[in-house]
């Protein structure tokens, strides 16, 4: 595991941390809408999608949204935490053998036994653990595994400019009751920006990219690899 991957994964490998995060996250799910939008956009563009990979998938919620939307597709779960794998095996159990589990480091996808030539690579709320360089390396490696016309999707937290950070931080508790109550885990501060993400897609060769949804610090980035 790389040192950046190791830092990112450290808290999540503790069962108490992973269990408390999943329990808290399940209480308020503001991200159901962007997950559903992402799955619908991919279904509309690429209904024949056969393989969907979710990197740093945690309990597998994003992957489940795609497998529901694309009943013919197989899923690949990837994460560095055994505790998260236990949650995912329970949550994704209803999909039976449609899901393969590939534990490993998101900063070294080549070491995770993920096949190349997949239709969709997802990730959510994990790539913000990486710095700009690490984020760009991740996008480049993920894009290289996609088929022509495949989709790279990231639902992730971004760092706005200072003045917007203050404005958003002031009002967010009115809309997200749990805002700011999460126990700390490794972040790369300042968080990578919208521009860092868009640069990363483009440098990875994905120029057809859009921010499909945004609320406060969380953006849904979707990019389609050229055919």
Ligand X SMILES: C[S@@+](CC[C@H](N)C(=O)[O-])C[C@H]1O[C@@H](n2cnc3c(N)ncnc32)[C@H](O)[C@@H]1O
Specify the residue, 140 or 149, whose C-beta has the smaller distance to ligand X: 140
Total binding residues toward ligand X, as defined by CB under 6 A: 21
Question: Could you give the string, one character per residue 7-46, with x where binding to ligand X holds by CB under 6 A and - elsewhere?
Answer: -xx--x----------------------------------
Question: Could you say which DSSP state residue 185 is in?
Answer: -
Q: In the window 94-133, what residues touch ligand X (CB under 6 A)? A: 105-107, 124-126, 129
Specify the residue, 6 or 193, whose C-beta has the smaller distance to ligand X: 6
Contact region with ligand X (CB under 6 A), list: 3-11, 36-44, 67-75, 94-102: 3-11
Q: In the window 134-153, what residues touch ligand X (CB under 6 A)? A: none
Rounded-to-integer distance, Cα 14 and Cα 2, Å? 18
Outline where the chain has alpha helix (H).
3-9, 15-27, 32-45, 61-69, 82-91, 132-144, 162-171, 194-203
Output 15-21 pairs: Cβ under 8 A, ≥24 positions apart.
Answer: 15/82, 15/83, 17/83, 17/183, 17/185, 18/58, 18/81, 18/83, 18/84, 18/87, 19/83, 19/87, 20/183, 21/58, 21/182, 21/183
The yes or no reply on residue 192 touching ligand X (CB under 6 A) is: no
- Residue among 39, 41, 53, 56 that touches ligand X (CB under 6 A): 56
Interface residues with ligand X (CB under 6 A)?
A: 5, 8-9, 12, 56-59, 61-62, 79-81, 84, 105-107, 124-126, 129
């Amino acid at each position: 595991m790389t040192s950046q991957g190791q830092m990112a994964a450290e808290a999540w490998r503790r069962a108490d941390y992973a269990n408390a995060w999943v329990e808290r996250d399940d209480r308020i799910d503001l991200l159901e809408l962007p997950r559903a939008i992402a799955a619908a956009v991919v279904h509309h563009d690429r209904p024949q999608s056969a393989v969907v990979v979710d990197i740093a998938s945690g309990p597998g919620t994003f992957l489940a949204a795609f497998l529901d939307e694309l009943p013919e597709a197989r899923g690949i779960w990837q994460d560095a935490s055994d505790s998260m794998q236990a949650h995912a095996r329970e949550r994704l159990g209803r999909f039976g053998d449609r899901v393969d589990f590939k534990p490993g480091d998101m900063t070294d996808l080549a070491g995770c036994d993920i096949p190349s030539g997949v239709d969709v690579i997802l990730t959510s709320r994990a790539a913000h653990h990486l710095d700009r360089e690490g984020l760009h390396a991740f996008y480049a490696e993920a894009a290289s595994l996609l088929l022509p016309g495949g989709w790279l999707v990231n639902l992730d937290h971004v760092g706005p400019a200072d003045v917007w950070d203050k404005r958003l931080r002031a009002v967010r508790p009115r809309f997200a009751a749990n805002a700011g109550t999460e126990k700390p885990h490794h972040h790369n501060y300042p968080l990578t920006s919208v521009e860092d993400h868009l640069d990363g897609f483009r440098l990875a060769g994905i120029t057809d990219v859009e921010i499909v949804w945004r609320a406060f610090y969380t953006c849904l980035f979707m990019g389609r690899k050229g055919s």
